[in-house]
Amino acid sequence: MYYIRDNKKRRIEMGVNLKGKSFLTLLDLTSDEIRYLLDISKQVKVERRAGTPTSRFAGKTLAIVFEKRSTRTRTAFETAFGEEGGHAVFLSKDDIHLGVKEDLKDTARVLGRMFDAIAFRGFKQETVETLAAWSGVPVYNGLTDLYHPTQILADFLTIEESLGSLKGRKLVFVGDSRNNMANSLMIGSAKMGLHFVACGPKSLHTDTAIVDKCREIARTSGATIEVTEDIDLAVKNADAIYTDVWASMGEEAKLQERIALLKPFQVNRELMERTGRSDTIFLHCLPAVKGNEVTEEVFESPASRVFEEAENRKHTIKAVMIATLL
């Protein structure tokens, strides 16, 4: 493998150059750029499994700025950066002025002079975009209410590892399909030529502007984008079934309402059997509320790839930082 060792050569061959760029949404990336990141992810995963020592980020610093708590995103950024010899500093909303008593543009400019890159996880997409516009360093979106692009790279790496390819695979998201995961999965699928289906109650369907944009992209990539309430139609012949929590962070007050609305869309053994296949895999970005969006039986079944996904967060995040910093 030579994606990193001959990084400049690889960028020229693929017409890809992400150095110095931010990673805010998959809408900003071409299919070749996404493929480039997945290829780097595979290499760094092999290196990590083999115990190969690397120090690509030696002398570099990363600010990890989080408004929302996290297990996988925080540990993925910290371990990915640390394994390469870099120094990461975690900053919660209680540690710094993040739009409070200081203009966010000013905070961004200060962080940009202190750090080589910034990872952000929070609520508004506008916040991460402001950090990217004013800091002068690469900024990585670790989740906003609108998008979760680093998760999609991990999901796609997991699908490739399990099924061998992405293009043409039928990926079905079941549940609240207007959340950041459904948005990002739809965009990623449109870019990479998957058959993506968002299935849930009509009141929780993906925003039409995102659907229209993804269908426009799909005309070039060969992807298929569907939105439906029909569970049988959605899951038939699915390669992968994906779900997420029924109430995202900040929506806890709506949980009982969501349970009543989404119970028919629970991923359980019956739903998995309705695919008509025995090799369909199950995916979830975690954390999972077992008994709500997915049953314990499916979560712990041989079809489940959730912990492969969780590990792949680190490898794909490392790939993004390698591509943008080196």
Residue found by looking up tokens 């929780």 in the block: 204
pLDDT beyond 60 at 12: no
pLDDT for position 248: 76
| Catalytic one of 148, 258, 284, 305 | 148
Is 11 known to be catalytic? no
Is 28 known to be catalytic? no
Is 313 known to be catalytic? yes
Q: Where residue 250 falls among pLDDT bands split at 50, 70, 90?
A: confident
Q: Which two tokens stand for residue 81?
A: 């950066």
* CA-to-CA separations, 129 to 23, 31, 61, 69, 138, in angstroms, rounded: 10, 22, 20, 20, 11
For residue range 90-135, what is the model confidence (pLDDT) as tens digits?
999 889 888 788 999 999 999 999 999 999 999 999 999 999 999 9
For residue range 162-184, what is the model confidence (pLDDT) as tens digits?
999 999 999 999 999 999 999 99
pLDDT beyond 80 at 198: yes
Tell me the C-alpha distance between 206 and 180, whole Å: 9
pLDDT for position 2: 45
Between CA 75 and CA 84, with CA 78 as vertex, the angle to 5 degrees is 130
| Catalytic one of 10, 72, 74, 121 | 121
User: Which of the following CATH numbers is that of domain 151-309: 3.30.70.20, 3.40.47.10, 3.40.190.10, 3.40.50.1370?
Assistant: 3.40.50.1370
pLDDT for position 60: 98
pLDDT beyond 80 at 14: no
Let me know if the fold of 7-147+311-325 is the same as that of 151-309: yes
Taking the complete model, does pTM exceed 0.85, yes or no? yes
CA 318 to chain centre: 13
3-state secondary structure of 140: strand
Q: Which two tokens stand for residue 35?
A: 């493929």
pLDDT for position 232: 98
Q: Which amino acid type is present at position 8?
A: K
pLDDT for position 6: 57
Tell me the C-alpha distance between 266 and 174, whole Å: 8
Percent of the chain whose predicted confidence (pLDDT) is above 70: 95
Between CA 292 and CA 263, with CA 125 as vertex, the angle to 5 degrees is 15
For residue range 253-304, what is the model confidence (pLDDT) as tens digits?
888 999 999 999 999 999 999 999 999 999 999 999 999 999 999 999 999 9
Whether the Cβ atoms of residue 70 and residue 150 lie closer than 8 Å to each other: no
Is the peptide bond prior to 287 cis by the omega test (within 30 degrees of 0)?
yes
Whether the Cβ atoms of residue 190 and residue 215 lie closer than 8 Å to each other: yes
pLDDT beyond 90 at 3: no
| Catalytic one of 56, 258, 313, 315 | 313
| Catalytic one of 56, 72, 151, 284 | 151
Q: What is the mean pLDDT of the chain?
A: 95
Is 244 known to be catalytic? yes
CATH superfamily of 7-147+311-325: Aspartate/ornithine carbamoyltransferase (3.40.50.1370)
- Cβ burial, residue 44 (10 Å; 0-12/13-18/19+): buried
Is 121 known to be catalytic? yes
Q: Where residue 8 falls among pLDDT bands split at 50, 70, 90?
A: low
- Helices 31-50 & 149-163, crossing angle to 10 degrees? 70
pLDDT for position 9: 59
Enumerate the domain spans of the chain.
7-147+311-325, 151-309
Tell me the C-alpha distance between 256 and 196, whole Å: 28
Is 274 known to be catalytic? no
Q: Where residue 1 falls among pLDDT bands split at 50, 70, 90?
A: very low
